[in-house]
Structure 1
Amino acid sequence: MTASRLHVAVVAPPFYEVPPRSYGGVERVCGWLVDGLLAKGHRVTLVGAGEPRTRAHFVRTFTHPQPEDGPDVAGVEIVHTARAAAALAELAPDVVHDHTRAGPLTAPGRAFAPTVVTSHTPLRGPEAASDHLRALNPWLSLVAISDAQRRDAPHLRWAATVHNGIPVDSSPFRADKDDFVLYLGRISAQKGVHLAMDAARAAGRPIVLAGCWTIPEERAYFEAEIRPRLASDVTWLESVAGAEKEQLLSRAACLLFPIRWHEPFGLVVVEALACGTPVVALRAGAAPELLEDGVSGVLCGDPGELPAAVDRATRLDPATCRRSAQRFDVSAMVAGYESVYRRALDGFRHTTSRTAPTNPSA
């Protein structure tokens, strides 16, 4: 290892390929990170499932991506973690960067490299998962994807905040917008899809729904709340990806993001801004951190404000939205993680004992 070139092992979840062919936000971020690190001259090993889809050295834990909602999802994560740990012990990279839930469990036994962990999960609310991170915190360099996520878990010892990044300049910019508004994401009650439909209808705008369910609870939500609202002013495209997704984002008058939970980031918000498309969001999770109210979007305190916000958002300048997205370019994400890696390595090299702390849960 030299001061300028690291061997970084990026461990992705086992549920989608990297980058994914359609849905898979964490996996897309992992793909962009891998490409960005390679472009900076680093050596990268990617650990994941399915086929190799980046230029990095690839370690396969499963021949095919695994279901993320099956009865044995915990078993899948355990097998993925075990196979990844065995491969990493043989490769001995300079830094292990884990993006999974179970993977951090192997950090205390890793004597050859520090472990950087990015938390992509909510840390407040019914889906919060932070107890294992607290127990393992002394062995991790823990990274948040937003300051809002850090505020939700002040009991954790955070190493840094590194926002998710996208290749902004590769996104198609369009100044002239169509009349429709867009919802793009999972069909989930937490995402407030029914609120987006109601707001578009109240604002007199057609809406395009681009999304699908991934678990049975989301299918039940679709049948109860979304299907009854389908009408001639709603176009449902199910899942979209690639150029089709980018064209929708660039053409939409605005993106609706009426989240009802503590979402730790919101990648689609940044993707919309990069296309010059303003965003209307409820003031929840990381949304206030991603949007400049009245500049790149409109933040609302409650769902009743959404229809008027749609009209306000469509008058915002697309070029300003695009400039706002530059804060979240992939280059900023890569630079942020490079800094985290080097600090983790400095601390790792200066640690004289690899024994467990006397009070690891403190």
Structure 2
Amino acid sequence: MDARNEDLLDIAVIGPSRFPIREPYAGGLEVVVAKEVRALRARGHRVTLYAAAGSEGHDRRHEFTTLAAATGRGDSYYPPGGYEADAAEFERLMDHVAVSGFDVVLNHSLSHVPLVRAAEMATPMITTLHCPQLAPMQEAFDRLGSATGRVLAVSHSVLGSWRVPHGAEVLPNGVDLQIWRPRAAAAGRTAARSAARSAFRPAAGTAAAGTAAAARPVAGRTSRVGLRPTDRPRAVWTGRIVPEKGPHLAVEAARRTGLRLDLAGRVGDDRYMERVLAPRLRDAGDSVRYHGPLGRDALVPLVASAAVALVTPCWEEPFGLTAVEALACGTPVVALARGGIREILSGQPGVVLVEPGRDPSSALAAGIPAALTLNRAATARAAAAAFSHDARIDQLEARLRGLLVGAAS
């Protein structure tokens, strides 16, 4: 700790080892780590980031390199010997961290090694759980308990999949409201969009403003007589192109309702792209555009100018950061009520939650008409109040200082 200012801390942040912390971000975990490092540095803390090769603002002397080429086969894939090699890199990093005199370690990795090594270190550590249970990490919790350090989780849904013998707290993710915010161009298109909205009729049973219910499928394509293709509302989907994120459901829902659709994200599973998503993109023709991974300068305007954002988890979604980002822009969200999505977005203005049921794309399609009627300004205001990243950092700093006071007593 800086003896001249006890409020400023010397912090080590351990990021994930698979993808670099840089734009365009590989996924939500990389976004969360980048925001946290940036915010803590802006508040005057000395922050050292340990991350994958190719990251920005990290310590290049101790970067992760093992998984750099393990792409395209799912984001949990390890090549033969890959997990062991990755663990060896974490061991070398923890050798360094243990003797570097940090005040605290913030661990966002998906490796068991920091948990095991925390038991040997004088430096306190906080681990944040970003995903459902991983067996090697769970084994460390079971074996070492409180010696693994303090534990946070991004949602109760995530925490419910783990056993943390000494307990854990939930600290939800936040959104940088200086970046994710309404855009003037999007507001200017509201009046032009109203005529298009009138061609869509809310389906009975649709859940609006955050109430989850089983929405009834639209019978056939909704009437849109007199609308030119460019007048049709445009939906947006962002995220990792992997089976568990389900972008193919967004394509199907958009086609059912006659919306145009923009897709943006990194392909994390080549087989899924080739066998599931790509055929649907070809069938959709010009009505669906796939942009690939986008940096914030292109991604934020794309989301902020959309009529609706579709969120399509096919697993128990840990949090649903893309949904919150859309809401902060004032863009209404239609989402499948799974995992953290149900927890975080229930009751949130600007959200239509639908039960997936046996036909999730029909459920999404049935929810879209209601979303098109929601107030964008109210949506943005409510999201800013609920998901401020500054407020999250305030809470994190309080926990850091409380941890250090406890360690000193």
| TM above 0.5 | yes
- Greater shift, 114-123 or 42-51, is seen at 42-51
Match for residue 129 of structure 2? 119
Give the Cα separation in 2 of the matches to 1:331 and 1:285.
Answer: 25
Q: Matched residues, percent identical? A: 31
Higher Cα Rg, which structure: 2
**1:329 partner amino acid:** S
Scaled by the length of structure 1, the TM-score of the pair is 0.86
106, 121, 146: which is aligned to 2:117? 106
Match for residue 279 of structure 2? 228
Contact 2:53/2:60 (<8 A) preserved: no
Match for residue 145 of structure 1? 154
Question: Cα 1:136–1:325, aligned 2, differ >3 Å: closer, same or farther?
Answer: farther
Q: CA deviation at 1:67?
A: 3.5
Match for residue 165 of structure 1? 174
Counterpart mapping for 1:78-97 below 5 A: 78-97=87-106
Contact 1:67/1:73 (<8 A) preserved: no
Match for residue 325 of structure 1? 383
Contact 1:276/1:322 (<8 A) preserved: yes
Match for residue 401 of structure 2? 342
**1:46 partner amino acid:** L
Cα RMSD, aligned residues only: 2.6
Structure 1: gaps of 5 or more residues: 351-362
Give the Cα separation in 2 of the matches to 1:298 and 1:94.
Answer: 43
Question: Cα 1:58–1:322, aligned 2, differ >3 Å: closer, same or farther?
Answer: farther
Give the Cα separation in 2 of the matches to 1:28 and 1:254.
Answer: 22
Give the Cα separation in 1 of the matches to 2:408 and 2:175.
Answer: 32
Partner SS for 1:152: coil
Counterpart mapping for 1:36-75 below 5 A: 36-51=39-54, 53-54=56-57, 60-62=62-64, 66-68=68-70, 69-71=77-79, 72-75=81-84
Give the Cα separation in 1 of the matches to 2:368 and 2:307.
Answer: 9
Question: Cα 1:292–1:262, aligned 2, differ >3 Å: closer, same or farther?
Answer: closer
Match for residue 262 of structure 1? 316
Q: CA deviation at 1:315?
A: 1.2
Give the Cα separation in 2 of the matches to 1:79 and 1:173.
Answer: 45
- The alignment status of 1:17 with 2:28, answered yes or no, reads no
**1:137 partner amino acid:** G
Match for residue 28 of structure 1? 31
Match for residue 370 of structure 2? 312
Give the Cα separation in 2 of the matches to 1:53 and 1:321.
Answer: 33
Contact 2:12/2:47 (<8 A) preserved: yes
Give the Cα separation in 1 of the matches to 2:137 and 2:368.
Answer: 34
Match for residue 207 of structure 1? 261
Match for residue 132 of structure 1? 140
Q: CA deviation at 1:159?
A: 3.3
Q: CA deviation at 1:211?
A: 2.3
Scaled by the length of structure 2, the TM-score of the pair is 0.76
Partner SS for 2:105: strand
* 1:202-247 CA distance string (max 9 Å, x none): 1111212212322xxx322222222221222221222222211111
* 1:177-208 CA distance string (max 9 Å, x none): 67211111122221122221111111111212
Q: CA deviation at 1:51?
A: 4.9
**2:153 partner amino acid:** A
Contact 2:103/2:123 (<8 A) preserved: yes
Give the Cα separation in 2 of the matches to 1:99 and 1:290.
Answer: 20
* 1:145-167 CA distance string (max 9 Å, x none): 11222233365543321112221
* 1:25-75 CA distance string (max 9 Å, x none): 222211211121122222212112335623x77653247972354414313
Structure 2: gaps of 5 or more residues: 71-76, 194-232
Partner SS for 1:168: coil
Give the Cα separation in 2 of the matches to 1:155 and 1:44.
Answer: 27
Give the Cα separation in 1 of the matches to 2:106 and 2:118.
Answer: 10
Question: Cα 1:36–1:307, aligned 2, differ >3 Å: closer, same or farther?
Answer: same
Question: Cα 1:11–1:294, aligned 2, differ >3 Å: closer, same or farther?
Answer: closer
Contact 2:138/2:163 (<8 A) preserved: no
345, 353, 357: which is aligned to 1:291? 345
Give the Cα separation in 1 of the matches to 2:235 and 2:105.
Answer: 41
Give the Cα separation in 1 of the matches to 2:309 and 2:403.
Answer: 38
**1:108 partner amino acid:** A
